[in-house]
Amino acid sequence: MKICSAGCVTLLAFFLASAPAQQARAVVVDGHLDASYVLMSTQTTQTSAPDDQQGAAGFGTGSELDAAYASIDGGVLYLFFAGNLKDTYCGNEACTDSDILEVFLDTQPGGQNPLLGATPSGFSFAGLTFDAGFSPDYTLEYFDGGQLSNTFTRVGFYGTLPSGGGGTDYGLGQGLNAGAPGTLSGGTNPFGIEATVDNSNIAGVTAGCAAATGAGVTTGVELAIPLAAIGNPTNCIGVCAFVYAFRSFVVTNQVLGPVPPGTCALGPPSSVNLAAIPGSQAFTVCLGATPARRSTWGSLKSVYR
């Protein structure tokens, strides 16, 4: 297990969760920012994906990761990614483009850096390199999977990333977009992972590659991950998240921690080397009592090792 450095971000909710008085969960998985969340990282770069300006909660026409938040309550890690995630739309014509939120979790010794194979949903990510000192052990994928009786659905995937390659992958199932509950059904979900999205955001960053801020956005993608699903960590959890455009097969510039302003789409996964990009393209969630620290693209990578 990693040692929590001075740069780790603390979640006091983890400590409070053990108090007998706290019976109900403080976080509802509905795609809305809850009061118990702690800010982990804020976007500083415009989105190389289209910018969603329609404001529809159940369907997104663009993708942006405006900020990342975390909370731990009742043995569950909650991650909230403010912003939007582009949908697949399948009707009387060919399916449109869509984007996938890729979340990588470094919770214990071992893991993969670079990645050795495909994602749980089957896209080849072999060769993608993370920051030095970040070797994820688990991955979660989330995307809006098209229409089900004229209602847009969400789909989740989970996978393990053992050092030697291989691992276990699950299709977690699907549910309806635009709010609670975050329950996924129809797949294999032994840990009860939850996910949902509210795509109503029209604020945050705009389209392009220049400097921007994602501050102030309160809707987006929300995940509930039982700690048992990620090896029951007892100290620090490293997180790297980005948007992958599966029709064009490129990693966009929507990464948290963020890439420097002026950076456009990063390219095919096999060519992406986050260690060569200034700043830290990850953030760290710790379970101890240390002060909160927020990451930006200019933060030194060594802070998070």
Count of domains observed in the chain: 1
Please name which of 117, 131, 126, 204 lies closest in space to residue 165, comparing C-alpha atoms.
Answer: 117
Residue 93 has a pLDDT of 44
Q: How far is residue 176's CA from residue 134's CA, in Å, rounded to a whole number?
A: 33
**pLDDT tens readout for residues 98-128:** 789 999 999 999 999 999 999 998 999 999 9
List the domain range (segments joined by +) for residue 124: 9-304
- Residue 302 makes CB contacts below 8 A (sequence gap 6+) with none
pLDDT under 70: residue ranges of the chain: 1-25, 88-97, 145-153, 177, 179-180, 288-305
Structural contact between residues 243 and 228, judged by C-beta atoms closer than 8 angstroms: no
pLDDT at 57: 78
DSSP designation for 276: G
Identify the pLDDT of residue 295: 44
Residue 121 and residue 172 in contact, taking contact as beta carbons nearer than 8 Å: no
Residue 273 lies in a domain: yes
> Rounded to an integer, what distance in angstroms lies between the CA atom of residue 154 and that of residue 73?
24
Q: Is residue 112 part of a domain?
A: yes
The answer as to whether 3 is a domain residue is no
SS3 state of residue 9: strand
Q: Is residue 116 part of a domain?
A: yes
CA angle, residues 6, 9, 13, in degrees to nearest 5:
130
Asked whether residue 23 is domain-assigned, the answer is yes
Residue at 147 is within a domain: yes
Tokens representing 255? 């990464």
Residue 248 inside a domain? The answer is yes
Q: Does 244 fall in a domain?
A: yes
CA–CA distance, 158 with 195 (Å, rounded to integer): 12
Helices marked H in 11-134 = 12-16
- Report the number of secondary-structure helices (H) and strands (E) in the chain: 1, 14
